[in-house]
Amino acid sequence: MNENPKVSIIIPVYNVEQYLRQCLDSVINQTYKNLEIICVDDGSTDNSGKICEEYTLKDNRIKVIHKENGGISSARNVGLGVLVGKYVSFVDADDYLENNFIEKLVEVRADITLCSFYKEYPFNSEKNIITNAKISKTKDEFICDILSFQKATGCAWARLFNAKFLKENNLLYDESLKVAEDADFSLRTAHYNSQIVYIPEVLYHYNFSSGSIVRKFNKSYFECYKKSLNKMEHIIDKTKYLIQWNNFVAHHLLLICVNYCFNLSNKNSYNKKKQMLKEVLKEEMFENSVKVSCLRDFPLSKRITLFCLKHKIYFVVYIISIIRNKIR
């Protein structure tokens, strides 16, 4: 066994000049040195592409690919198509790593290794602990965790993949999905006989304050979510994961309330916004999630929101959504 296998780090880059240097510094300063660092500039219109090129002069392990804008899934797939490492990790360009991130993950030698992470907010940092000890997970346990919004294990980052495992199972990101593409990818990785290991170390910093695109009102947001959830609905056995699936859908329904129906940038009248919400709730998937989801699995504010949705108390949903928009 190669005691020092090459690890490829794929960094999709799009208009993140404010955060990119911190990200790249955290990658090139890893204690594990046998790295291939693939920066995929996805048609940035700011100085992000130039910053990537600047860093190639600092570290010859960095490769930069410039492409037309195609979205984060497209950028990740480009990286997967050219990597040479035995293992691969995805790092968002507005996030950063602890300096032993790769060292701790690669020593496990699993198909999928996940670590705990920090949620970085403007004024504080919060640990998201996925386990208190190194533990192997079964396929069913992993799927339940992906569907559990509290654990946040359905993301692309804070993990290391065996590149051969991804290639042999033709696991790529679905470029047609604009939201929840990470959860779709994670659910598909769970369907193979893979070694899945969680480690307790908190090694990744996920930036919640970098200005997500969902903060701007997008007329297609709901349709994008519906498409993603419809696809995932056919990946899993809903009878086997009934509560988990409906909790997962309910969680995303709450996101739709905040980011779509009652988005602060949505200039429609309250009555029009309420009508938008009613149209969302006509969809069988969301209607069922309100009926079947387990309220006790949600924190208090979300529990209240789901209760109000169930009993059609839409004005309270509106007020809670506005508050959530203003405090994030």
Number of structural domains found in the chain: 2
DSSP 250: H
Q: Assess if residue 2 is contained within a domain.
A: no
| Whole-angstrom distance, CA of residue 102 vs CA of residue 66 | 25
- Confirm if 171 and 185 have CB atoms less than 8 A apart: yes
Instruction: Look at residues 173, 207, 241 and tell me which one is the last residue of a structural domain.
Output: 207
Domain that holds residue 318: 215-327
198 and 119, same structural domain? yes
**pTM listed for this prediction:** 0.94
Instruction: Look at residues 174, 207, 240 and tell me which one is the last residue of a structural domain.
Output: 207
270 and 202, same structural domain? no
Q: Assess if residue 1 is contained within a domain.
A: no
Here the CATH number for the domain that contains residue 75 is 3.90.550.10
261 and 196, same structural domain? no
- Confirm if 283 and 253 have CB atoms less than 8 A apart: no
Strands 7-13 and 35-42, bridge-based pairing: parallel
Identify the H or E element spanning 141: helix 139-147
265 and 158, same structural domain? no
Q: Assess if residue 230 is contained within a domain.
A: yes
Instruction: Look at residues 145, 179, 207 and tell me which one is the last residue of a structural domain.
Output: 207
- Burial of residue 283 (CB within 10 Å: 0-12, 13-18, 19+) is middle
Ordered per-residue pLDDT tens for the chain, 328 residues: 568 999 999 999 999 999 999 999 999 999 999 999 999 999 999 999 999 999 999 999 999 999 999 999 999 999 999 999 999 999 999 999 999 999 999 999 999 999 999 999 888 899 999 999 999 999 999 999 999 987 778 999 999 999 999 999 999 999 999 999 999 999 999 988 789 999 999 999 999 875 554 567 888 999 999 999 999 999 988 889 999 999 999 999 999 999 999 999 999 999 999 999 999 999 999 999 999 999 999 999 999 999 999 999 999 999 999 998 887 6
Confidence at residue 65, expressed as pLDDT on a 0 to 100 scale: 98
| Whole-angstrom distance, CA of residue 62 vs CA of residue 97 | 16
Partners of 136 in beta bridges: 197
